[in-house]
Structure 1
Amino acid sequence: MGQDPIILIVRTIGEIFAFIAILRFLLQAVKADYYNPISQAVVKITQVPMAPLQKMGLRIRGLDFSPLLLAFLVKVLAFAIIFLYLGAGFPLPSIAIFSAVGVFSNILTILFWATIGSVIISWVAPGNPHPAPQILLQLTEPLYAIVRKVIPPIGGLDLSPIVILLGIQLIQSQLARFLV
């Protein structure tokens, strides 16, 4: 039996927009190149809904958390529409928990795939000037640096991507019980 097309559309649009908002947060958190065309696209796509949220001043240590709030609100809205469509009412506490855990899980998913992408790029095309590999490397290098402080490269072999991937998988396996 297939899924209802309305639910599929609402959930897909919500997930894509939440993904872009989370990507905006991550790009500014790692201080990625603002003039990269991908960074510019992410900023332009999220600029209109971000404007009122940025006025709230959700800055901590110079980091703007309004993109995460936007992702959370988008997920809340998508879940609310789905619950109301199904006639299940509007269980706000459940929706808020699903949305918050979903945002955190999406952050981990982005970092997971960015790590895999950066590993592949380091094998296939190291130093590639294309904007996509540059963004992937800028997203993952701060994580690699943290792990390298604990586990330095051994004989030229950097184990930090493996540690990061295992850590993300461990955390996501614990989050799975809170996701819809």
Structure 2
Amino acid sequence: MLTRALLFLLDSIGGFFGGVLLLRFMMQAFRVSFSNPLGALVVQLSNWIVAPLRRILPGFMGFDLASLLPAYALQALLLLARVALLGGMHIGFGAPEMLVAFIAGQALLATLRLGVYLMIGALVLQAVLSWINPYSPFSQPVNQFTRPLLAPLQRIIPPLGMIDLSPLAAILLLQLILIFL
């Protein structure tokens, strides 16, 4: 019972900060402006680790490794904590190298899954904002965030009257990707 509670807390806190770090990476990769309430929130929540890492971790081909690598490392630490708390270090892993390889691979998959969930959440948020308040301060950054995924789909799927079905198609495609991850 105590182990489950501890795992819940670790997953919740680690998932939140991993999501923030990955959101910061994706916002920079998709060229989303940080001069809005959402961007300011992401920067304030992640600057404590990203700013010091930027001094030692340069960007790579325009991608901010100081945001991506901590998100990946946090997923790896969460998996390692889960294995340790559930007693998996002694069961099923012959050599420590096998455990390291397992954690590294599973952390990569967990980071990719988290990125897909962030994109699905942004698509749902975009749909809700378009119905409730299309002029919200969050509308512009969410539109910028989802544009790289929706633009190719909007060329293929024409709108039906005033209804754009490309977000629905994008969510279906992302759900399909999650099946394979």
2:8 match = 8
What CA distance in whole angstroms lies between the structure 2 residues aligned with 1:3 and 1:83? 11
Please state if 1:104 is matched with 2:112. yes
Secondary structure, counterpart of 2:116 in structure 1 = helix
Contact 1:72 1:99 in 2 (8 A): yes
Structure 2 letter corresponding to 1:136: V
1:57 maps to amino acid: P
Q: In the alignment, does 2:164 pair up with 1:147?
A: no
* Structure 1 segments of 4+ aligned residues over 4 angstroms from their partners: none
| Stretch of structure 1 that moved more, 109-118 or 134-143 | 134-143
Question: CA-to-partner distance for each residue in 1:44-70, whole Å, 9 max, x for gaps?
Answer: 22112223432322322x222332211
- Render the CA deviation track for 1:91-126: whole Å, top value 9, x for unaligned: 211111221111111111111121112112222222
| Residues 120-139 of structure 1: pairs in structure 2 closer than 5 A | 120-126=128-134, 128=135, 130-139=136-145
**Residues 123 and 167 in structure 2, CA contact (< 8 A), matched pair in contact too:** yes
Q: Distance in 1 between matches of 2:41 and 2:163?
A: 35
Unaligned runs of 5+ residues in structure 1 are 176-180
**2:124 equivalent in structure 1:** 116
AA matched with 1:103: T
Q: How many residues align?
A: 172
**Aligned residues with identical type, % of pairs:** 29
The corresponding residue for 2:25 is 25
Over 3 Å counting, the alpha-carbon distance change for 1:156 and 1:6 in structure 2 is closer
Matches within 5 A, 1:71-82: 71-82=71-82
| Residue range with higher mean Cα deviation, 14-23 or 80-89 | 80-89
Distance 1:68 1:163, change over 3 A: same
Residue 170 of structure 2 corresponds to residue 169 of structure 1: no
Question: Structure 2 length as normaliser, TM-score?
Answer: 0.83
Shift of 1:16: 0.8
Do the aligned residues in 2 keep the contact of 1:68 with 1:103 (CA within 8 Å)?
Answer: no
Q: Which amino acid aligns with 2:154?
A: R
Q: Output the TM-score relative to the length of structure 1.
A: 0.84
Unaligned runs of 5+ in 2: 90-95
Provide the secondary structure at the position in 2 that maps to 1:59.
coil
